[in-house]
Structure 1
Amino acid sequence: MFSTSALLALNSEPADATTVSSSTRKMPPGKLYAIADIHLSFPGNVEAWSQLAPHPGDGLILCGDVGESLEHMRIACSKAASCFDMVWWVPGNHELYTVRAEGSDGSRGEPKYEKLVEVARQFGVLTPEDDFMVWEGQGGAAVIAPIFTLYDYSFKPDDVPISGALNWAKEENIEATDEYLLHPDPYPTRQAWCHALVQKFEAKLEAAKAQHPTLPFIIANHWPLRKDLVFIPRIPRFVIWCGTTLTEDWHRRFNAKVVISGHLHIRRTDWKSGCRFEEVSLGYPRQWKDCADMGLGVNELLREILPGPKAIPEGGEQPAEWRSFTMEHIY
């Protein structure tokens, strides 16, 4: 179990339970970092999160899967907000689970998401429901765009129809826990919720692009925007729960400088069409054990988003750069 000191450090009350308008926020002057999949249902990850160091003047993006319960959300936001001048959060699939044993109140689907947004705002953490903001710190001006898209099973092989995607995965004994714990209420299906979310955030990105036509975007979403960035060799058919093809070209359409995601639990950096794609997950304890064995913890595994690398690869393309993982720890 985790220590009493970790609990005391992480379960602090919000300094101000009122919603903080993004328009009144002062952008930090320092660096922008990101991390995903801290999975606070695991005691080892709670202990690691309790050791997050202060970053005065910096910003942080929590890119989904902080845990399953509202209490996990409070722990994640409380610590992040105490260490960074500004924090953003986007939901992953685990936050949306309805798991009473994890302290959930039984909310399902969109109502669960709305409660998570309320918790984030209690700690001054910005969400996909808040206005996009212009970063003015290191790395140059950019629009910070946290979004929420879910998935629709379209990351399937071309010869498999959408209607057969679930059965295709089950042929290899692969079925996501989402099928039992992630409810789409009030939408009839997760696909329908995904398509509504894609419409919503496509419109929000278009409006921000019209407002800031010369600025690059930093897009943060728990699920990868592109299928070709999904690499899960031990369970390849899990790919259908990893995103939607509807976002395939968003990095080009919205002038993205960096696209941040998690979900895969495999840290990597890719370059596509001059855009840097960062998978920034921590993962389950066994999946970052290789890092822990090297003395690397949460602080070392935070990914610097801005300013980031100074040079863009020739042609704006570069093969994946894998960051501290071993194949046996993947899923």
Structure 2
Amino acid sequence: MPSGKLYSIADLHIGYAQNKLAWSRLKPHPGDGLILCGDVGDSAEQLRSAFSKATECFDTVWWCPGNHELYTLPNQSGSGTRGVQKYQECIGIAREHNILTPEDDFVVWEGEGGSAVIAPIFTLYDYSFRPDNVSLEGAVPWAREQNIEATDEFLLHPDPHFSRQNWCKVLVEKFETKLEAARKQFPSLPFVIANHWPLREDLVTLKFIPRFSLWCGTKLTDDWHRRFNAIVVVSGHLHIRRTDWRDGCRFEEVSLGYPQQWKKCADMGLGVNELLREILPGPEIIQPGEVPTRWRIFG
């Protein structure tokens, strides 16, 4: 287990040439660990490429899936697997590179920042991030009223589950049980929970596409940071880098995003090495209370 710092980044989307080039310039981090928090790429080839570079540069790497890893693309060659089978295919690729996944035992970090349980999870979403006056059945039509519809509706299949929200429910129950067992196993240790989707609806601020919130998580995980003694919760998906505090827990959104979304950094000569977010030890601990969101361009 690394003895140095723990970093994270999400939404590498290395299918984009500029992102792939940026990731190829990742510098070695001997003694450090890295959490890849989903949406690394859209294909097995992209996953292998990104995983190879990550394990070349970091001593230990964790990965949790995003929606893009689960896509079954129309022009996809090979098996064209869907749903749970596609997820298991991604797990297999991670294990080819000795990368820890949500399907592996949670392990204890002993690096800077003190001991902590590193807990990558996978929850999907259930369309519950919506106003009270919008029904589940009316949720997607409500988003379409503003010309918003996630690509997931066409490429992310829930097989063998009946629906994505049903798959989400199964996943939430699975990882709730796993986190509870780990909390009992390590009652004195704080947790670092990593999930592609935010655990709380109040951390989803989408100024230009607010109704995209439907595809951003589930209300079932709202209190997990308290229940499971989290010191940090890491997520991606939003492509909006931010740091928040809730109940003394630090929430980090660590996306790189599409090339145009980090262009300002690129224009400043900054790349993925500057956009890696330090999770542990991280910034100075904030005392409980109302702390404003810190919107981050990099770091």
State TM-score, norm by structure 1: 0.89
Distance 1:201 1:234 in 2: 32
Aligned-partner Cα distance in 2 for 1:100–1:46? 22
Structure 1 residue aligned with 2:90: 116
Q: Measure how far apart 1:315 and its partner are.
A: 2.4
Tell whether the 8 Å contact from 1:45 to 1:285 is kept in structure 2 after alignment: yes
1:320 aligns with 2:293: yes
**Alignment pair present for 1:280 and 2:258:** no
* Root mean square deviation of aligned Cα: 1.0
Alpha-carbon separation, structure 1, partners of 2:232 and 2:273: 21
SS in 2 for 1:66: coil
- 1:172 matched to 2:172: no
- Native 8 Å contact 1:69 1:103 kept in 2: no
Deviation of 1:294 after TM superposition, in Å, equals: 1.0
Deviating runs (4+, > 2 A) in structure 1?
100-105, 314-317
Which residues of structure 2 form unaligned runs of 5+? none
How many Å separate the matches in 2 of 1:301 and 1:104? Answer: 34
State the Cα distance separating 1:101 from its structure 2 match. Answer: 3.1
Match in the other structure for 1:22: none
Matched, 1:154 2:149: no
In the TM superposition, what is the alpha-carbon distance from 1:103 to its structure 2 partner? 4.9
Cα shift at 1:62: 0.2
Q: 1:263 aligns with which of 233, 237, 242?
A: 237
Contact 1:69 1:104 in 2 (8 A): no
Residue 35 to residue 103, structure 1, CA distance change in 2 (3 Å)? farther
Q: Is residue 190 of structure 2 the alignment partner of residue 216 of structure 1?
A: yes
The aligned runs of 1:297-312 (5 Å cut-off) are 297-312=271-286
Quote the Cα distance in structure 2 between the aligned partners of 1:141 and 1:316. Answer: 25
Cα distance in 1, alignment partners of residues 288 and 16 from structure 2: 42
What SS does structure 1 have at the residue aligned with 2:111? Answer: coil
> CA offsets per residue over residues 49-99 of structure 1, 9 Å max, x none?
000000000000000000111111101110000000000000000000001
Q: Tell me how far apart the structure 2 counterparts of residues 257 and 105 of structure 1 sit (CA, whole Å).
A: 40
Q: Which of 116, 119, 125 is the aligned partner of 1:145?
A: 119
Q: In the alignment, does 2:67 pair up with 1:93?
A: yes
Equivalence map 1:1-331=2 (5 Å): 27-101=1-75, 103=77, 105-312=79-286, 314-324=287-297
Q: Percent identity?
A: 69
SS at match of 2:245: strand
SS at match of 1:128: coil
Amino acid corresponding to residue 319 of structure 1 in structure 2: P
Which residue type is aligned with residue 324 of structure 1? I
Q: Deviations over 1:200-239 (max 9, x none)?
A: 0000000000000111000000000000000111111000
For residue 101 of structure 1, give the secondary structure of its aligned residue in structure 2: coil
Q: 1:104 to 1:281 in 2, by over 3 A?
A: farther
How far apart, in 2, do the equivalents of 1:160 and 1:152 lie? 13
Once the two structures are superposed, what CA deviation does each residue of 1:261-308 show, in whole Å capped at 9, x if it has no partner?
A: 000000000000000000000000000000111111000000000001
**Contact (CA 8 Å) 1:256, 1:275: kept in 2 or not?**
yes
Classify the secondary structure of the residue corresponding to 1:315. Answer: coil
Q: Structure 1 unaligned runs (5+)?
A: 1-26, 326-331
Shift of 1:123: 0.5
Deviation at 1:28, TM superposition (A): 0.5
Equivalent in the alignment of 1:17: none
- Deviation, 1:161, is 1.2
Q: What is the Cα deviation at residue 160 of structure 1?
A: 0.8
